[in-house]
Amino acid sequence: MARISIKSIVFIFALSVFIFPLQAQRHINNERHYWYTLETGKKLFREGSYGDALIAFHDARNDRREMYSMMERDLIMLFSLPEVRRMNDSLGLIENYIAERRQLNAAAALNELYYRVGRERLHNSAQSALEYLDHLKSYPEADYWIGETYRLMGENEIALRQFNETLLNSDRMENPAFVVEIRYKIAGIEHLRRRYNEMERQLQSILERDTLWMQDDNSFVREAMNRTIDTSGVNRFLQMYRYKNSETEKAHRLLGEYFYVSGRHGKAVPHFIFAFLIQNTTIIDEITAEHFDFKFTNLENLMTALARRNDLKDYMKETAYYKTVYYLAAALYATGKENPARELWTFLAGYGDSGEWQGRARAQLRSPFIETPQEIP
């Protein structure tokens, strides 16, 4: 059996007694400080106190930057010692030195770094440790909330700069999926600024998260969907296909509208089909979860099944369900698919809850027409 040296025992004892508890405590205290300030800002934001919220978000960002700057200084001071420089960038040797000399500030900095980044990503390099600490100074969550506050205050230029800054540091966000929300906000601002190419770019970036859309390089699935709608009708299409991707539904819907009103009807159709399919899949799944014996047959029986589901009615408003149905029909008609277009317009015309889209559908049924391309509203 291998013998454990006295030096090893001393090292392990020092590491466990002096470093880990103090490192953990320092990490908890520092994180609570900037995190709590950010949460305070969110509360003020929800209450409509935008000025105070901005102050809190800036404070949270500054607190985090100062925390990691302090840790960076602690490590730089340690790494600058002559005896440490002779360790040739070896983080393992430096850790031994930290434990033996009880360099508690440096130990706390490394522990925070291991927690946030992971030991393996540093490749046993002190220089890498400093580089990662520098990266951690940014606080993209605070940048986002600063941008969102300015957006609601009508300062779109400032908001856009903050959102773009957030995207640059998105790899450091605790919830990377939040990037989708940021891109939607940027697309909304670019829409208001009438920079439609940039709006489209942001929405197309969101669709990179739509697995089915991105994997369908040769449009095989899209063509199959289109063919089913054309030859078998919309109701048969919804019996055959299910697809649920709540993150990208809005991007498909907005791109469908964008391409339609700019006269590119062929490009609008597949986006409207995906938005329509995602919306109906969500509704059908929710109804089936409550009534396991429900079976979709047509849009009319689906509307009957959700009659008392106010949550689903709210979802339909949120996703502009009836508008999507109308413009899917309009895009289909504009590309020569009159039968499924009429099927969708007939559904809207007979369903009172569809509001203005009922009247517009009835007008189309009386005398179908392709709406004049226009500037994006």
Contacts of residue 7, defined as CB under 8 A and 6 or more positions apart, other chains included, come to none
| Residues paired with 90 in a beta bridge | 125
Read off the pLDDT band of 5 (50, 70, 90).
very low
pTM (2 d.p.): 0.82
Tens digit of each residue's pLDDT (9 = 90 or more) over 152-177: 999 999 999 999 999 988 888 878 78
Read off the pLDDT band of 4 (50, 70, 90).
very low
86 burial (CB, 10 Å; 0-12 / 13-18 / 19+) is: exposed
According to the model, what pLDDT value does residue 209 have? 87
Q: Assess contact for 234 and 225: CB atoms under 8 A.
A: no
According to the model, what pLDDT value does residue 176 have? 76
How many residues would you count in the chain? 377
Q: Assess contact for 273 and 229: CB atoms under 8 A.
A: yes
As a whole number of angstroms, the distance between CA 185 and CA 165 comes to 13
As a whole number of angstroms, the distance between CA 331 and CA 259 comes to 9
As a whole number of angstroms, the distance between CA 190 and CA 68 comes to 34
According to the model, what pLDDT value does residue 216 have? 72
Contacts of residue 201, defined as CB under 8 A and 6 or more positions apart, other chains included, come to none
Tens digit of each residue's pLDDT (9 = 90 or more) over 262-313: 999 999 999 999 999 999 999 999 999 998 889 999 999 999 999 889 999 9
**Residue 219: pLDDT over 80:** no
**Residue 215: pLDDT over 60:** yes
Phi and psi at 249, nearest 5°, equal -55, -45
Low-confidence winner among 165-179, 228-242, 349-363 (lowest mean pLDDT): 165-179
Question: DSSP assignment, residue 207?
Answer: G
Contacts of residue 293, defined as CB under 8 A and 6 or more positions apart, other chains included, come to none
Q: For CA atoms 325, 329, 335, 340, give the dihedral sign.
A: positive
**Residue 365: pLDDT over 60:** yes
According to the model, what pLDDT value does residue 27 have? 46
The overall average pLDDT reported for the chain is 88
Tens digit of each residue's pLDDT (9 = 90 or more) over 178-187: 899 999 999 9
**Residue 9: pLDDT over 50:** no
Read off the pLDDT band of 17 (50, 70, 90).
very low
Going by C-alpha positions, the residue among 72, 69, 45, 67 that lies closest to residue 56 is: 45
Q: What percent of the chain has pLDDT over 70?
A: 90
As a whole number of angstroms, the distance between CA 97 and CA 101 comes to 6
